[in-house]
Structure 1
């Protein structure tokens, strides 16, 4: 009885203190607030604090520590893991989505709940960009702090390479800054260590000049897939770092092989580079917004994974295409090959991002609606990754996987970095308050 009374009193105080909203089970707005983008995830937190500014975040952390509640953080976008946050406090940052561009300094401050769509809309009028994610609904903070491989990484490097500073609320509800000069060891750990060390209320990122960006998506019959993949491979190998994109199999109504070629430049330059692809037989050619609309996946249930590859030899191309033509259903089941290299390789060394030297990345991606298809979808992702086992580097980008166990976390951080990360964790979160992530336990 005393414990319930203490919790009731603390919850009342939280409501009074927060500028944002507080939701508890059975109250109006709670059911909507607890929903996440992945319909496979059905969790019931004890409290959801939708914060409006960093002081709200600090107050919410103090509330959770007073009541010995676990804390989960909801940023702007599409984290896959779906942590078991039943009975926990969820700090919801989605009201904190402001983006402030400093064009003279070629830098941008991004609040913790902003998405890539928010960031792109703010920077585009200045002809500036970050090494952004491939989907506009991706949350910037989780994407960047997890490493961040995206649509412009060959041209600009990984998203975390652009990180200038982080504003954090710690497990002790203190507001701190981390950059190259202030808390430099924490700043190092945030380059790939994700949300293990605090709640990122804002990031400051370097921007790159990008006056033009162009893309073309070619759709080909599936039997042409091996030729399409090999041609795309050679375009990336011989082209400039400004060239990127993906090859994939996609629907929506039947399985087709798609080659998306992107270029950090104008359309004329893109079309010149794309000539070998354009010469192949294809059923459709889409550019700009048309290509983006087709690549958007429907809502519902989701699962995906990733494997870094040592290369893309012909044997692997054939394995990929054979698996891709046998997807359980067109549309939502998309095996994708992504080229790395370029500025990813030449980016700053020493950060806990162990996959810089991988030239290619496999990313099987599944979206579906019927719960009866859950096991089939998960098995398809698992089997697609198993196909490439002989060509794996052993590293993995954590921003492209869910909860796949501690060994995969180690693979995403680099075994040689783990002890150093564990020491940083001990300094900033010795009780492992922030555990609903790719977790680093304090040493």
Structure 2
């Protein structure tokens, strides 16, 4: 361990070095393409451990990475040769049903968060896969099934407890450290270690939700229908389209929906979708919000390699549909999909400068989500992903959801933060002038000011 041994007597949590029986498991993240080896992993037992870890890494000039949920495709949660702060065991949560708020620690996963809030018939926007970590998702924006009615996850953050680069614990809110509060809502992990988040909750219990799939011969018409239908959807309805390779050849299209309003009105709104085409599978009906959130989990098992390319798509034109269908039919992996998750309603109408998340519009989060099992298949899958993305470029915006950025996409950081980059750089300069928190989609202190 070398100098890292000095940390042992300063922390309550467990310190893992290479050779420890838990070390290899602890350094693994969602994306198995990531294979970095920290000098040590500190399993933080509480905020005091986070403070000690930050101060130690700074004194020793060690790379410092922050692991909360570990779901980020870029694998920034794990550093090479530095100190990894593992917050995944910090899962405390307190719901206030009267005020409809909750304070939740950074180690929680979406499913764990939903389990607590749903006991009171409450929820907030948080992703679409329940094994995702709440902290990284929220700091990058947090697009989820309730975005049309209640905005993004970051729009619902009332406060955040943050350990800054100098080891100070501060609470950022609209009334205290308001510049930091603004930056955390879409600016990622650039400004400190977020140990807990306070969210606004909303009355959500059962939803009208599910999905329908369409066979290859209807794929083109299904995408055209999806775009027309999504373009006029009310705030209560959030949708996601996906295109993948049909097991028997050709592309297949799926349309998933979540309606969080009165069911009788929802049935009326969704009737055109039920009436469209010939369904190859799926169903839509009343279900608990928690059950719907966990529905896709089986499609993202541990152990797969992941390589993503992403941007925003405003208009699903006939020409772009042709490209999507052509590439989906030739995907090298049966587990790969091309997603078109809708940003709509409240989330699309927020002023782009009101939070650090700048990309406010009625649009699709376009994501080529390539995943495969055998590492030897990596070159083939990555090449297909790049070719698909390049073919779609003429139809995409010069913008990207920061949570979808891959490990090598440093040239797209400004695209991720958009019109807010300069203001974010100013906040970074105030709270982290030495760029201690640089293992992320990094905003360099002072650059652009």
Name the TM-score, length of structure 2 as normaliser.
0.91
Q: Residue 444 of structure 2 aligns with which residue?
A: 441
Equivalent of residue 257 in structure 2, options 248, 258, 261: 261
Equivalent position SS for 2:349: coil
- Match 1:226 to one of 201, 220, 226: 220
* Counterpart selection for 1:399 from 393, 399, 403: 403
Residue pairs, 1:173-322, within 5 angstroms: 173-250=167-244, 253-254=247-248, 256-265=252-261, 268-279=264-275, 280-287=277-284, 292-293=295-296, 296-299=299-302, 300-322=304-326
Structure 2 residue aligned with 1:408: 412
Structure 1 position 430 matched with structure 2 position 433: yes
Q: CA deviation at 1:383?
A: 2.4
Corresponding residue SS for 2:171: strand
SS at match of 2:255: strand
Shift in Å at residue 146 of structure 1?
0.8
| Separation of aligned partners in 1, 2:254 and 2:266 | 17
Which residue, out of 72, 87, 91, partners 1:93?
87
What CA deviation, in whole Å up to 9, does each residue of 1:174-198 have, x standing for no partner? Answer: 1111111111111111121111110
Using the TM superposition, name which of 87-96 and 246-255 deviates more.
246-255
Deviation of the 1:282 alpha carbon:
1.5
Aligned to 2:107: 113
| 1:340 paired residue number | 343
Q: Which piece of structure 1 moves more, 61-70 or 264-273?
A: 264-273
SS of 1:69's equivalent? coil
- Cα distance in 2 for residues equivalent to 1:169 and 1:293: 33
Change (3 A) 1:30 1:404: closer
Cα distance in 1 for residues equivalent to 2:87 and 2:33: 22
In 1, Cα distance between the equivalents of 2:387 and 2:260?
34
Q: Deviations over 1:307-365 (max 9, x none)?
A: 111212233223222222222232x1101112222111222441232211252221111
| Separation of aligned partners in 2, 1:193 and 1:374 | 30
Q: CA deviation at 1:386?
A: 2.0
1:255-287 deviation digits (Å, cap 9, x = unpaired): 532111221136554443332232211121235
State which drifts further: 40-49 or 295-304.
295-304
Q: Which residue of 2 aligns with 1:3?
A: none
2:64 paired with 1:71: yes
When the two structures are superposed, what TM-score results if normalisation uses the length of structure 1?
Answer: 0.92
Aligned to 2:122: 128
Determine the C-alpha separation between the residues in 2 that align with 1:17 and 1:431.
24
2: CA distance between counterparts of 1:267 and 1:376? 45
- Aligned residues of 1:311 and 1:358 also touching (Cα < 8 A): no
User: Residues 322, 251 of structure 1: CA spacing in aligned structure 2 closer, same or farther, 3 A cutoff?
Assistant: closer
Q: Of 141, 147, 150, which residue of structure 1 is paired with 2:144?
A: 150
Question: For the structure 1 residues 160 and 393, does the alpha-carbon distance in structure 2 shift closer, same or farther, using more than 3 Å as the test?
Answer: same
CA distance in 1, matches of 2:262, 2:389: 35
Deviations 1:358-378 (CA, angstroms, capped at 9, x unpaired): 522211111111112112222
Residues 89-116 of structure 1: per-residue CA shift (max 9 Å, x gap): 0000011012211111111111111111
Report deviation, 1:250. Answer: 3.9
Report the equivalent of 1:60. Answer: 53
Q: Distance in 2 between matches of 1:81 and 1:294?
A: 19
* CA distance in structure 1 between the partners assigned to 2:89 and 2:298 by the alignment: 27
| Count of equivalent residues | 434
SS of match in other structure, 1:57: helix
C-alpha distance in 2 between matches for 1:37 and 1:252 = 25
**Corresponding residue SS for 1:109:** strand
**C-alpha distance in 2 between matches for 1:222 and 1:270:** 28
Indicate whether 1:378 and 2:382 are aligned: yes
Is contact 1:309-1:358 (8 Å) kept?
Answer: no
Which moves more between the two structures, 140-149 or 293-302? 293-302
Q: Structure 1 residue 353 and structure 2 residue 357: aligned?
A: yes
CA distance in 1, matches of 2:175, 2:83: 33
Offset of 1:420 from its aligned partner?
Answer: 2.0
**Secondary structure of 2:119's partner?**
helix
Distance of 1:266 and 1:323 partners within structure 2:
39
Which blocks of at least 5 consecutive residues in structure 1 are unaligned? 1-6
- Residues 1:246 and 1:205: Cα distance change in structure 2 (over 3 Å): same
